[in-house]
């Protein structure tokens, strides 16, 4: 791996961007907010995982998925199932007619733990399931669609249908899934109280750390030849085949990566909010996730994080005061951004701030030696003509 130096992977603007985000998330936010607000902020960050994945799928690969909620949900549910089983020990559930199973099962007159719940007694299995189940599911969807060259709008509609189906399934199978309320009342993780302030701080930092892992993976992908193949595919899919690449495999790959990121985000949601419900799986949340990405800038992985934060903050304040208007506002925001700022916040930054920052960096002694060439990247929206 020594071939892949920092310099090849990041321009100095990228380095600065990562540093600023790290300081914001690791220092400024924890110092300026109480733990309740910080946990809420951590929830916003759990959506940033999805948005970063969408930058890869949609921004780079041109694959618009309107069903990322599916993977977010699968990741979130995998962890919630583990935590729920831990919370449903026979002692805790002694008053149930069948002690030792989750309460909602008991209410639905289920007397035995369903087979697919069994493995979630294992922490290791559950952690692996968070990553593997959504990724495999994405692989099958991707394989079935992309090998047949289904793409564009058709693919978007199919992903929507899948998220609708999964929501209906979860809500309909109340006894097995917790139904519309989801899986709630989670208490401990390996015997450790997850409701303490201390735990909330730990989870917030875990969430930020994992977000940075995803950001680095995404950065690595976008700067690799694979990233450039995706850019090429977005415009000239047919041509890429004649450069000797099996286009479907590349699409399947980024779709799987996007799914895995979303799943980690879902698990981070469960961990911080202590529940998971079908309201994060369906069509509306899935579309919201695309909006986070669009607002941040489809081509900017850091922009996606800010997009998720900004839209969620707006949703919290605006949505709390005018809940019935929020969906319209969101729609208007999406259309407005697409028309006025097709490259989102990142595009605005590139156009108005980046030149100044660059001049500043030229003078900064630390960055002077790190003379990455910021004009070289194919991914930046450099066509600001």
Partner 1 sequence: MNAVAAKATNTDFVLAVEGLTVSFDGFKAVDDLSFYVDEKEIRVIIGPNGAGKTTVLDLICGRTKATSGSVKFRNKELTTLKEHEIVKAGVGRKFQNPSIYEDLTVFENLELCYPRGRNVFGALFFKRDAKVISKVREVAEMINLKDELESQADLLSHGQKQWLEIGMLLIQDPDLLMLDEPVAGMSVTERKQTAELLRRITNDRSVIVIEHDMQFVAEIADHVTVMHQGKILAEGSAEKVKQDPKVIEVYLGH
One residue of 173, 193, 243, 371 binding partner 1 per CB under 8 A = 243
Cβ atoms of residues 285 and 279 within 8 Å = yes
Q: Does 245 bind partner 1 (CB under 8 A)?
A: yes
Question: Of 65, 7, 282, 335, which Cα lies nearest the Cα of 168?
Answer: 282
Element (H or E) spanning 344, and its range? helix 344-348
Q: Does 376 bind partner 1 (CB under 8 A)?
A: yes
Residue whose CB is less far from partner 1, 220 or 367: 220
Residue whose CB is less far from partner 1, 45 or 299: 299
Cβ atoms of residues 53 and 63 within 8 Å = no
CA dihedral 200, 202, 207, 208 (to 10 degrees): 120
What character string, x for contact with partner 1 (CB under 8 A) and - otherwise, covers 325-364?
Answer: ----------------------------------------
Site stretch for partner 1 (CB under 8 A), options 86-94, 164-172, 188-196, 375-383:
375-383
Token look-up 């989102």 returns 344
Site stretch for partner 1 (CB under 8 A), options 151-159, 177-185, 245-253, 258-266:
245-253
For residue 193, give the DSSP letter.
Answer: E
Q: Does 116 bind partner 1 (CB under 8 A)?
A: no
Q: Does 384 bind partner 1 (CB under 8 A)?
A: no
Residue whose CB is less far from partner 1, 231 or 311: 231
Q: Does 253 bind partner 1 (CB under 8 A)?
A: yes
CB < 8 Å & 24+ apart, contacts of 272-275: 272/39, 272/42, 272/43, 272/46, 272/200, 272/203, 272/204, 272/207, 273/39, 273/43, 274/83, 274/184, 274/186, 274/187, 274/194, 274/195, 275/80, 275/182, 275/183, 275/184, 275/185, 275/186
One residue of 7, 241, 351, 368 binding partner 1 per CB under 8 A = 241
Residue whose CB is less far from partner 1, 187 or 228: 228
- The per-type count for the chain, helices as H runs and strands as E runs, is 18, 2
Q: Does 5 bind partner 1 (CB under 8 A)?
A: no
Q: How far is the CB of 5 from partner 1 (least distance, A)?
A: 11
CA–CA gap between residue 197 and residue 202 (Å, rounded): 9
Q: Does 148 bind partner 1 (CB under 8 A)?
A: no
One residue of 118, 197, 246, 362 binding partner 1 per CB under 8 A = 246
Token look-up 């099996």 returns 246
Q: How far is the CB of 221 from partner 1 (least distance, A)?
A: 7
Cβ atoms of residues 135 and 256 within 8 Å = yes
Residue whose CB is less far from partner 1, 7 or 195: 7
For residue 183, give the DSSP letter.
Answer: B
Question: Of 252, 157, 272, which Cα lies nearest the Cα of 205?
Answer: 272
Q: How far is the CB of 252 from partner 1 (least distance, A)?
A: 8
Size of site (CB under 8 A) for partner 1: 31
Q: Does 3 bind partner 1 (CB under 8 A)?
A: yes
Q: Does 244 bind partner 1 (CB under 8 A)?
A: yes
Q: Does 28 bind partner 1 (CB under 8 A)?
A: no
Q: Is 269 exposed, middle or buried (0-12, 13-18, 19+ CB in 10 A)?
A: buried
Residue whose CB is less far from partner 1, 187 or 234: 234
One residue of 121, 122, 249, 371 binding partner 1 per CB under 8 A = 249
- The footprint of partner 1 on residues 198-237 (CB under 8 A) is 220-221, 224-226, 228-229, 231-232, 234-236
Residues that bind partner 1 (CB under 8 A): 3-4, 8, 220-221, 224-226, 228-229, 231-232, 234-236, 238-239, 241-247, 249-250, 253, 376, 378, 382-383
């Amino acid at each position: 791996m020594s071939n892949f130096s920092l310099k090849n992977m990041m321009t100095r603007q990228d380095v600065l961007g990562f540093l600023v985000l790290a300081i914001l998330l690791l220092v400024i936010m924890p110092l300026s907010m109480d733990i309740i607000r910080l946990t809420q902020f951590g929830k916003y960050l759990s959506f940033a995982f999805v948005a970063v994945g969408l930058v890869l799928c949609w921004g780079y690969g041109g694959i618009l998925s309107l069903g990322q909620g599916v993977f977010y949900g699968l990741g979130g549910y995998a962890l919630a199932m583990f935590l729920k089983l831990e919370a449903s020990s026979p002692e805790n559930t002694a008053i149930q007619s069948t002690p030792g199973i989750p309460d909602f099962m008991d209410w639905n007159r289920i007397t035995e733990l369903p087979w697919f719940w069994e493995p979630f007694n294992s922490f290791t299995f559950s952690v692996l399931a968070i990553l593997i189940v959504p990724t495999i599911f994405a692989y099958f969807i991707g394989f079935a669609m992309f090998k047949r060259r289904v793409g564009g709008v058709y693919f978007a509609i199919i992903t929507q249908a899948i998220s609708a189906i999964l929501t209906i399934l979860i809500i309909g199978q109340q006894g097995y899934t917790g139904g519309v309320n989801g899986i709630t009342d989670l208490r401990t993780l390996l015997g450790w109280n997850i409701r303490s302030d201390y735990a909330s701080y730990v989870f917030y930092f875990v969430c930020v750390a994992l977000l940075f892992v995803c950001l680095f993976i995404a950065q690595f992908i976008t700067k690799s030849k694979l990233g450039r193949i995706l850019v090429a595919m977005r415009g000239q899919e047919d041509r890429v085949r004649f450069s000797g690449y099996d286009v479907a495999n590349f699409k399947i790959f980024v779709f799987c990566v996007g799914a895995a990121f979303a799943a980690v985000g879902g698990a981070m949601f469960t961990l911080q909010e202590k529940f998971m419900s079908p309201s994060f799986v369906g069509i509306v949340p899935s579309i919201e996730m695309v909006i986070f990405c669009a607002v941040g800038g489809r081509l900017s992985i850091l922009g996606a994080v800010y997009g998720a934060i900004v839209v969620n903050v707006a949703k919290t304040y605006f949505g709390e005061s005018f809940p019935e208007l929020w969906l319209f506002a969101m729609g208007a925001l999406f259309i407005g951004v697409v028309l006025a700022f097709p490259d989102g916040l990142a595009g605005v930054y590139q156009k108005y701030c980046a030149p100044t920052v660059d001049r500043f960096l030229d003078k900064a002694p630390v960055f002077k030696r790190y003379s990455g060439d910021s004009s070289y990247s194919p991914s930046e929206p450099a066509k600001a003509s």
